Amino acid sequence: MFTILKVTKYVSPRRSKGFIAPRDREVGKFVLLNANRMSDIRANGSGTKFYYTENLANPRDGKAYVEVEDHWNEVTNALDTAYPSEFTIFTGYKDDDVNKTTLSYTIPSSTLVLADSLANDYDRSYITYQAAGGRLKRVLANSSLEDISAIDLLRDYDGNIYRTLQIGAQEWTIDNLRTTHYADGTAIPRVEDDALWLADTDGAYCYYQHNDGFKDIYGCLYNWHATQNAHGLAYFTDDGVLQLGWRVPLRADYDTLITAMGGGATGGGSAKERGYAHWDNPNYGAIDLYGLRERSSVNRFYDSEDLDVHGFINMGIFEDWWTSEQYDADQGYAQYLDMYSTEFHDYHEMKYGGAMIRCVRDV
């Protein structure tokens, strides 16, 4: 996670190495701070203090903080017009850089596509941007500016952006599927009525509590029939070029992933996003080892006594994804993680159930 903020005060302990240059601490300056370096966030009257360890090699040197205005926001997609016209990225924290030289790199906010820090890695964080008419570019923050390079970010039929991650011989989408169209452009019906949802056998989607605001965080809930629709569900392009090989996973695809993640007993912990932003306590064993950032979401099922309105259930407790395999005439195979364990679970559920989908291809 990155946070864009407007500095109103900067404080550094006397023992701190002070890796952030004085010119980048100026009051009123907008900066993009790697949240992996943050150790605490505390409300402070009209502002917010972001505490972070400047010298990661020796945290005992003390914690610095920047105090910012109230309207800070997590950056996960392109900035809107409420943000400044440009922001600064801090780079130059390579372990082999004896002088610990701090460089700053400024890019226009209008070109920002994505800002995301790598799980369990305090020294590598990506800022992806795209100038008008150009290819996507990536700055590897907390490293050298020489690491600016073109990268591949996928777009679905609707233009939604997906990050991907290679684990072993597979490439997975980090984000849950959010498309509202099949691969050939045919619209997937959005079904909110309970009776129509239960009766559908051709493919449908909805959002949690029918609230569009959950789309970017969790993706769409699809019934199993959408994975079987003849129009096709997995469709991605990169810079306008169709990317081949993407599919809704088979159970065997998940078996391969789980093996690469350490096995069924612990692989779920390696996949789960850390913390409680999208999981309930205890989120046991979550270490997000590879950056898959699996978030607990919700299901639209009808076979539980704990159902919420319109059959929604399990927010913060489970994360479920469909496979494209059938169990029997009424049920399809799925996978799930839960907040209580580090296990990956293979199970089957009624085909009218609503669950998330991630896509995979072989590399």
Same domain? For 230 and 246 the reply is: yes
The reply to whether 72 and 142 lie within a common domain is: yes
Angle at 222 between CA 221 and CA 224, to 5 degrees: 140
Of 97, 127, 150, which residue is a domain's last? 150
163 in the same domain as 262: yes
The neighbouring-strand residues paired with 53 are 63
pLDDT for the residue 36: 47
Residue ranges making up the domain that contains 244: 155-362
What pLDDT is attached to residue 39?
A: 42
- Rounded to a whole number of angstroms, the CA Rg of the chain reads 22
Cis ω before 282 (30° cut-off from 0): yes
- Same structural domain for residues 278 and 179? yes
Task: Tell me: do 159 and 296 sit in the same domain.
Answer: yes
Residues of the chain with pLDDT under 70: 1-105, 114-126, 140-152, 302-310
Q: Are 300 and 312 in contact (CB under 8 A)?
A: yes
Number of domains in the chain: 2
Are 139 and 272 in the same domain?
Answer: no
**pTM summary value:** 0.71
Whether the Cβ atoms of residue 227 and residue 204 lie closer than 8 Å to each other: no
* pLDDT for position 216: 85
Q: Based on the fold, state whether residues 38 and 58 are members of the same structural domain.
A: yes
What residues pair up with 172 in beta bridges, in sequence order? Answer: 165, 360
Residue 48 host element (H or E) = strand 47-53
Residues 168 and 139 occupy one common structural domain = no
pLDDT at 239: 79
Q: What is the DSSP letter of 227?
A: G
Residues 122 and 188 reside in one and the same domain: no
Which of 117, 134, 150 is the last residue in one of the domains?
150
Do 94 and 179 lie in a common domain?
no
DSSP state of 315: T
Q: Are residues 115 and 212 in the same domain?
A: no
300-331: pLDDT as tens digits? 876 655 555 568 888 889 899 999 999 999 99
Which of 131, 150, 169 terminates a domain? The answer is 150
Long-range contacts of 271-275 (CB under 8 A, 24+ apart): 271/337, 271/344, 272/319, 272/337, 272/342, 273/119, 274/119
pLDDT of residue 350: 92
Determine the pLDDT at residue 276: 86
- Spatial neighbors of 170 by CB under 8 A, at least 6 apart, are 253, 256, 257, 260, 360, 361, 362, 363
Shared-domain flag, residues 184 and 286 = yes
